[in-house]
Amino acid sequence: MRISRGGAIVAAVLAGALALTGCTSGNSTAPEASTAKTTLVVGKSFDLSTADPARSFETTGGIFGRAVYDTLLTFAKGDATTPIPMVAESYEANEGATEYTFTLRDDVVFSDGTPLTSADVVFSFDRVKNIQGNGSFLMEGLSVSAPDESTVVISSDEPNTAIPAIITAQTLGIVNSELVKENGGTDAADASTTDTAEEFLNTTSAGSGPYIIETFNTETETVIVANPNYWGEPAAYEKIVLKNATAENQLMDIQSGTIDIALDLGADQLPAIESNPELAIESGISPTIFFLFSNASPEISKVTSTQAFRDAVKYGLDYDGLLEIAGEGSAQVPGVIPSVFFGALKPGDAAVRDIDKAKAAVQELGDIDPISLEYPSDFSVAGISFGTVAERVQANLKEVGLEITLAPAPISTALDSYRAGTEQMGLWLWNPDYPDPADYLVFAPDKLVGLRAGWTGGSNPDLVALADKAAVATEEAERADIFREFQLTMNEVGVFAPLFQPAATVVAGKDIEGAVFSAVFGIDLTYIGK
């Protein structure tokens, strides 16, 4: 696999929407107010929790953060194959893929006019690591240093060809270190208990992106406005409103013109607008995967932690029926890596319903109490309600003798129990943090998502070793083989049941330019209108 500057990392996605238009770097002249259009309103079902990039790790937060905080590298509009320069104008990797050296642009300034230097990058990355939030795993095994004001060096304990993709993640957005420090921020080793900058960052921008925060609200709407000191090409809009709305409300809003873009419409909703001459529809397969997990910790459940229960779930699910819920354009996901990325399994590797095997596994379990299935009740993706999927899962498993009790909760509450690892069963999704198969090693035992499912490394040391091997492989052919073996083993003995990838649809007014789906960001607000 190539590890030099600009090397391709993953397979191309959404070919119909991949017209490249260049990156956001450009002139350093502040934009004239009159060059921006007025207001863009985007409908999105919120899973928004914070504006602090070091703590943000949800889909809506990534959309918001992309517009407010720049990263060292990024991706061109609609692309998920090759990281391109952003704050860094170039980079080089050593032969062993253990050290990456980035040369910074000299014209990047934060929204208050302060020049961005390597010290800000080091602070931002170390703060992410030491806050120990949901995205801190991105810095696992990495260290960052600054030989001078315009150079950043990222070193890895092990070979890591995914680093160029990793640093495009919005969690690693670069903050104004002095401003954040003045308002309670720290990158010290004890930042998890001493950093108090989140409240400040929920009201004030400390980034160098084309937009800055006007108002931030996790329940109704969040508003960003053009950054008058932006160093690159001026923002296309004076104001962008991210409006929290269910798919049903987005359908009504896009038809009435209340919103300009809808991000969560499902395939069954599209016929209502396909004949509307004022609307354009961009569709493709999403990199989002829906999955079930059965908690592997006997302390949480002596039932779900058994292989018999996992087999009952795996063989008891009606995958074709679940695809009907997901709608046209969706696909069963055969492993934890979605089909649009390098390292994915083939369709023929996907699980198949086998009622006899499922019933045999249930019989092995004996007489058991109903198992609780938790999921977010107020969150939808691509028009798909978690409640509808959960009800179908409940019905499927009842057919083979498993009694499942549904336990919906608001997403803020559900996320807390999911991340705390206290759910007996969970129905969730995973969006890519960066488009490389290494991102999906978090499903392994002892890793981020594995631990949420109570899956410790001691339960399967061979799989842990396989994940570790995948993480350090550098040759493309070798990586493909290892990630295939990793996923096939996960499917055989793992606690996760991959379900499907929904279709990805962006519906926008025909006068809105650049509204295409992004496998990395969902949608890239910085390109819309250009």
Q: Which of 97, 91, 50, 54 is nearest to 74 (CA)?
A: 91
> What residues does each domain of the chain span?
15-244+504-523, 289-501
pLDDT tens digit string along 420-454? 999 999 999 998 889 999 999 999 999 999 999 99
pLDDT of residue 15: 36
Q: For residue range 180-215, what is the model confidence (pLDDT) as tens digits?
A: 999 999 999 999 999 999 999 999 999 999 999 999
Closest CA to 406 of 381, 379, 375, 430: 375
Residue 35 has a pLDDT of 53
Sequence-separated (6 or more) residues with CB below 8 Å from residue 87: 70, 71, 72, 104, 105, 108, 116, 121, 174, 208
Q: What percent of the chain has pLDDT over 90?
A: 82
Output the pLDDT for position 36.
65
| pLDDT per residue as tens digits for the range 248-260 | 999 999 999 999 9
Mean pLDDT of 452-458: 91
**Does pLDDT of 337 surpass 70?**
yes
Q: Residue 441: name the closest of 473, 492, 390, 487 by CA.
A: 487
pTM of the model: 0.80
Q: What's the pLDDT at 12?
A: 38
Q: How many other CB atoms are found less than 10 A from the CB of residue 495?
A: 29
More confident call, 514 vs 356: 356
403-409 average pLDDT score: 97
Determine the pLDDT at residue 284. 85
The amino acid sitting at 523 is I
Pick the CATH number of 15-244+504-523 from 3.40.570.10, 1.10.357.10, 3.40.190.10, 1.20.140.10: 3.40.190.10
Residues 6+ apart with CB under 8 A from 385: 247
* Helix (H) or strand (E) run with residue 380 in it: strand 380-381
Superfamily classification of domain 289-501? Dipeptide-binding Protein; Domain 3 (3.10.105.10)
CA distance 90 to 446: 35
pLDDT by residue (tens digit) across 417-428? 999 999 999 999
Q: Is the confidence at residue 30, as pLDDT, over 70?
A: no
Mean pLDDT across 301-321: 97
Residue 27 has pLDDT above 50, yes or no: no
List the beta strands (DSSP E) in 67-210.
73-74, 84-85, 88-93, 99-104, 142-148, 151-156
Tokens 């517009």 belong to residue: 67
**Residue 132 φ/ψ, nearest 5 degrees:** 60, 45
- Structure-block tokens of residue 229: 């000191």
pLDDT in tens, 62-78: 999 999 999 999 998 87
Tell me the pLDDT tens digit for each residue of 125-181: 999 999 999 899 999 999 999 999 999 999 999 999 999 999 999 999 999 999 999
- Tokens 């921020």 appear where? 185
Q: What does the pLDDT read at residue 108?
A: 98
Q: Is the dihedral of CA 412, 414, 418, 422 positive or negative?
A: positive
CA 140 – CA 320 distance, rounded (Å): 38
Tell me the average pLDDT across 409-414: 92
Provide the pLDDT for residue 509. Answer: 94
The first and second tokens of residue 89, run together, are 């104008």
pLDDT > 90? residue 350 = yes
- Residue 193, judged by CB atoms within 10 A of its CB (0-12, 13-18, 19+), counts as exposed
Q: Nearest-CA neighbor of 375 among 498, 311, 292, 442?
A: 292
* Residue pair 501/330 in contact by the 8 Å Cβ criterion: yes
Residue 268's pLDDT band, with cuts at 50, 70 and 90, is confident
d(CA 154, CA 139): 10
Average pLDDT of the chain to the nearest whole number = 91
